[in-house]
Amino acid sequence: MFMKIHIIRNNQRFGPYDEQTLLSYVNQGLILKQDKAIADGDSLEQTVGFYLKRANLQCHVSNKGNVMSQLAAIGSELIFPKAKLFSKQFLSDQRFLILALVGLLPMIIMNIPLGGFFLFYEVSLYFSIIWGLFFYACFKTNQVRLNTTLYVFFLTQLCVFVVWDIVGLPKVNLFYAFTETAFPFNILGYVFGVGLTEEFGKMIPLLIILRKAKEPLIPQTMVFYGLMSGIAFGVFEGVQYQMTVNAEQAYDVSFFLNIARLTSLPFLHACWCGIAGYFLSFAQLYPKYRRGLYVLAITIPAIVHGLYDSLANYWLVSLVMVFFGLMLLTVYLKQSVDYQSKLRQ
């Protein structure tokens, strides 16, 4: 007795066919052994190959001609699509450009005769580009502009350089002294010293672009720019670690710390500054609440940042703080409509 078997493709059923008909179609290359199938009376989907094997039927797909005739049938345009390779449309393919940038940039860096600070900066810049592309894919909006993104990225590094190396703000902030104390007193130093100072430095470019904006910038747009500012700060801090703390370690430890910090620091600072960008956007959209929103923009990232730093020796607890910061950013974005409804009142 022949079974009635249906072929399933793209959620559509075809057939029914008996086993011999299926074997014929497989041998002709019209259907595949891996195609989903289900027989009348069965409750679970199987494959065509499953039913053929159960019927003790062996399939064999014959080759259509020799290798040369098969290549000729495929055609030169499929093998070497010169028309598309050299078209302008191909060069505007975003996926191609991203792959080329991520894949070729290390090869370019290896052949640039630079050392010391500039070498570390090149490597840090590479990791920041990867994070930037990732955040762009996750948080892009129609308002995001490449020139503004680059402006925020490099302005953040300039601001941090001025604030740290020229003005010496960390030395002025007396709370930094508490970072040398034991837990829990070091929280004071890391929240009111490190946290407030670093988050303020990252906020400066965001405040500037808000002031220059020619349209209201929605929360997700400002979150993206906040992420870019955080990445830029992570690059600055990563280079500092590579040239000081990491350089004092053994080769294997130094190598690991360089990779770990170049990948983690931009991410951490990006998440914290993304929260700042979120509240800064609302301060622009609802100026009658701007004082409170400015306070939230600086204090929430500073607290999360400071708690992470003060608990850094307890790696599992600090990991929870990172996760908590990421959760905050995600939840804020999801409930931005609720925030807007509340602030319109």
CATH code at 50?
Answer: 3.30.1490
Please state the domain count of the chain.
2
Percentage of the chain exceeding pLDDT 70: 96
- Pick the last residue of a domain from 38, 54, 70: 54
Instruction: For the chain, give the mean pLDDT.
Output: 85
* Global pTM value: 0.74
Cα 220 off chain centre by: 15
Q: Would residue 26 count as lying in a domain?
A: yes
Q: CA-to-CA distance for 129 and 140, rounded, in angstroms? A: 15
Q: Are residues 229 and 334 in the same domain?
A: yes
Q: Are residues 49 and 98 in the same domain?
A: no
Q: Would residue 145 count as lying in a domain?
A: yes
Could you tell me if 168 and 162 are in contact, meaning their C-beta atoms sit under 8 angstroms apart? no
Q: Would residue 244 count as lying in a domain?
A: yes
**pLDDT score, position 78:** 78
Question: Is 308's pLDDT higher than 80?
Answer: yes
Q: Are residues 184 and 300 in the same domain?
A: yes
Q: What is the mean pLDDT of residues 88-116?
A: 73
Q: Would residue 220 count as lying in a domain?
A: yes
Which domain range does residue 12 map to? 5-54
Q: Would residue 88 count as lying in a domain?
A: no
Q: Are residues 206 and 294 in the same domain?
A: yes
Q: CA-to-CA distance for 41 and 45, rounded, in angstroms? A: 11
Question: Is 117's pLDDT higher than 80?
Answer: no
Q: Are residues 260 and 181 in the same domain?
A: yes
Given its phi and psi angles, is residue 41 left (phi above 0), alpha (psi -120 to 50 degrees) or beta?
left
Q: Are residues 315 and 196 in the same domain?
A: yes
CA neighbor of 40 nearest in space, from 55, 51, 25: 51
